[in-house]
Amino acid sequence: MTSRKKILFILLFVAFGVLALNIKLSNLAGSTATFTLFDSFAPISGAFLGTTWGVVSVIAMQFVNFLLHGSANFDAGFAIRLIPTAFAVIYFSRNTKFNILIPLLAMIAFISHPIGRTVWVYSLLWLIPVITYFFSEKSLVARSLGATFTAHAVGGALWIWAFNLPREVWLSLIPVVIIERLLFAAGIAVSFLAVKKLLELDVKNWLHEVFQG
């Protein structure tokens, strides 16, 4: 893909990401921020654009969406969400031992919190991306699960320090998180296959016609 085609592809990717950011799926506990279709789409960006450009495009999606909707949606929860998504992009796009380190560090950060120590069982969810790492190179399902649970690990570690949610809330969230992340993983896998299929069809010819026209 030439530089011009890559730029157009990034712009299209960002545009779809902004659209996905406005399709609400659920709320985040303790914040006005929400989970959206973006959480099932953003992690695949690094697989097509490269890790660096994938992370940049994800930040651009959030920034453009913020400009469109203003400060009404900006709180600590919104700010924190920028970081976990970037780590999900890295996990999905690169098979590196870094993908093991991040969820383990998140577990340590979570358990280091006074409330986290009383609900350490919650952080056991973050062993999932450690386990899936060993299968992610050959399994799209493993990569998708690892990416979404890595985002959850980083977000959870930041969340407990930012909002001090009580023990009862964390415990009640465990079954919700399991279902939610399985759905996100399915969305990531489907998004990846859909974009891959589009690229295998006539998208390259269409891009050529656009630039030639």
**Higher-pLDDT residue of 18, 27:** 18
Residue 3 has a pLDDT of 65
**Mean pLDDT of the 182-192 span:** 92
Please name which of 75, 71, 76 lies closest in space to residue 160, comparing C-alpha atoms: 76
| Token pair of 10 as six digits | 């990034």
Is 31's pLDDT higher than 50? no
Question: In this structure, what CATH number is given to the domain that contains residue 89?
Answer: 1.10.1760.20
Per-residue pLDDT band at 208 (split at 50, 70, 90): low
Inter-CA distances, 16 with 74, 148, 213, Å: 21, 19, 23
Distance (Å, whole) CA 170 – CA 163:
12
Burial (CB count within 10 angstroms: exposed 0-12, middle 13-18, buried 19+), residue 137: exposed
| Token pair of 206 as six digits | 């269409």
Structurally, the chain folds into a number of domains equal to: 1
Residue 26 has a pLDDT of 59
Domain with 168 in it: 3-212
Please name which of 128, 124, 123 lies closest in space to residue 142, comparing C-alpha atoms: 128
Do 105 and 158 contact (CB within 8 A), yes or no? no
Is 213's pLDDT higher than 60? no
Residue 209 has a pLDDT of 53
